[in-house]
Structure formats: structure tokens, C-alpha cells
Structure 1
Amino acid sequence: MTPEQLTELCARGFDGVVGLRYLEVSGDEVRAEWTVTPQLHQPAGIMHGGVLCSVVESVASIGGSAWFGARGHVVGTNNNTDFLRATRSGTLTAHGHPIHRGRTQQLWQVDMTDENGRLVAQGKVRLANVENTAHLGQ
């Protein structure tokens, strides 16, 4: 799938609420961006930290899925995101890359920067590689 097709597909879900746009997608690297709007703010007028956690989860999962391919699906089992700089507006970019890829799990890191290249947040997501997905959600 092209980044544009992936953006359109994911826009039907939570990524669409955030406005996440995929720029580059492979099993080795994912880049995406979104615009911080007041709809993504928490009461203090800065972007809600949950948006950053969600972007980390989305970017890592897309990359992990691209790498795992037709063998099955990946599901997040842990998400740890550090918030480093508050953001009120502008466009943020997420860059994800794998730290570890194994038979049963993957670990991805996602760095999020502002328009000036400053690190806004950094997260890591552990993904489980699931070959038989029929039992998930049961």
C-alpha cells in the first residue's frame, strides 16, 4: 500500500480523528505527520498527551505490520511515551524505527518533532507478532 492509500484506510478510524497522514511506510521506517488543532488540546490549551501515545502506537503498529507482512498481525502489548515539550499548534512529524524484531515480538521507537526539529515526545511500543488472529477479541 502507498502512504496515501494507508492514510485513507486509517482515516476511517482513530488516525482520522487525529488527522494522521502517512508520508513513508516500510518495515524499517515509518514517517507520519499531523497538525495540532484545538480539538486535540486538553483543558490547559496544549495538545493532550494521549494524542502522542496514540501516534506512537499507530506508527509502530503500521511499521511492525509492514515487516511482519502476510504471516499475521501485530498487536501492541506495551506503550511508554515520554512528553518532552508542550505543543499548542503547528505540524508535528513522527519517525518510527525498529529496535528489535524477533519471532514473537518487536520493539519500535517513535520520535516526534515540531516544525523546528525539536523533540516533542519519544515513545516505545512492544508489539506481539500474532500468526493466528481468530481468537483476538474473544
Structure 2
Amino acid sequence: MTEQQTRPPTSMADLSAEQINEISKGTFADLIGLRVTEAGPDRVCGEWTVTPQLHQPAGIQNGGVLCTVVETLASTGGSAWYGERGVVVGVNNSTDFLRAVREGTLTAEATPLHRGGMQQLWQVVVTDEGGRKIAHGQVRLQNLPHRA
């Protein structure tokens, strides 16, 4: 094994999509079936399958699932970018629901709009299997540097 394979990750920037999915087992993101498919400081992608367990009483996917995906992917990307400098926390999540979904696999892509010393702003676009926009969200993240 190489040093890279044996050395434990020191920050989110060091984690692969597979490692993120592994450490997410048992979390809320895992409960909704979110799988990170690509992870890095400039882009994070994920997918999940809409099932009846994720529906609201009207028989469509609950908006809370979309908000969770938006928050999770933006925070993952923001954490990967901020790296060993500290941690990031979400301070605002604004998600617009554009199209109702009852079933199928949805994908989401998070990309940064702004990355500053104290805050970041990420956008997340959710699409269905036909490429139609299902939701669009923005998450503002606070960068919390480690104390010296």
C-alpha cells in the first residue's frame, strides 16, 4: 500500500465519493438514499431514487428531501474547498421546488457561486432522468476557522 492509501483523510478535501458515502451510513442523508457520485472542492454530485417513503400525503416527493439534498451537497463541497482551515456550517438554505415528482431517480449538482474568507454561497440544481429541472437551491455557508 502507498502512503496515500494508508494515511487517514485529514479533511473533506481528501475524501472520495465512496468514502463520503461510507461515513454517511446511518445519517439522515443515508436514510433518504442519497449517494454522492462525485465529490470535490468545485463540484459535488449525488443521486437518489424517489420512493413512496419519501412522499408527502399528496403522493409526491416531500420538499424536505430536496432541501436535505441541497444542504448536504453544498456543505460537502464547501467543506472540501475550505479543507484543513476549519469547518463550514450552513446558515441559510433557500430551495425552490419547480416540478412535482412521484418516482424515478433524481440527480443533483452543487457548484460554488462565491467563496470568501468568512462565507461561501453554493447553488444546487436537481434534475430528473429526462434532464428537466425539479428544484434549484442556494446554501450560504459560514467558514469557521480552527482556533490557534
Instruction: Give the TM-score, by structure 1 length.
Output: 0.94
State the partner residue of 1:97. Answer: 111
Superposition pairs of residues 1-138 of structure 1, within 5 angstroms = 1-132=15-146
What is the distance in 1 between the residues matched to 2:90 and 2:54?
Answer: 23
What is the distance in 2 between the residues matched to 1:31 and 1:11?
Answer: 17
Question: What amino acid sits opposite 2:128 in the alignment?
Answer: D
Number of equivalent positions: 133
Higher-Rg member (1/2): 2
Contact (CA 8 Å) 1:11, 1:19: kept in 2 or not?
no
What is the distance in 2 between the residues matched to 1:93 and 1:55?
Answer: 10
Cα displacement (A) at 1:8: 1.5
Contact (CA 8 Å) 1:59, 1:96: kept in 2 or not?
yes
Which consecutive unaligned segments of at least 5 residues does structure 1 have? 134-138
What is the distance in 2 between the residues matched to 1:64 and 1:90?
Answer: 28
Question: What amino acid sits opposite 1:66 in the alignment?
Answer: A
Greater alpha carbon shift after TM alignment, 98-107 vs 6-15: 6-15
Alpha-carbon RMSD across the aligned residues, in angstroms, is 0.9
What is the distance in 2 between the residues matched to 1:2 and 1:79?
Answer: 25
Cα displacement (A) at 1:64: 0.2
What is the distance in 1 between the residues matched to 2:26 and 2:76?
Answer: 15
What is the distance in 2 between the residues matched to 1:20 and 1:96?
Answer: 14
For residues 6-31 of structure 1, give each alpha carbon's deviation from its aligned partner in whole angstroms, at most 9, with x where no partner exists.
11111221111111101110100001
Cα displacement (A) at 1:74: 0.5
- SS state at 1:88 partner: coil
Instruction: Give the TM-score, by structure 2 length.
Output: 0.88
What is the distance in 1 between the residues matched to 2:33 and 2:74?
Answer: 17
Runs of 4+ aligned structure 1 residues displaced above 6 Å come to: none
What is the distance in 2 between the residues matched to 1:61 and 1:19?
Answer: 17
State the partner residue of 1:136. Answer: none
Which consecutive unaligned segments of at least 5 residues does structure 2 have? 1-14
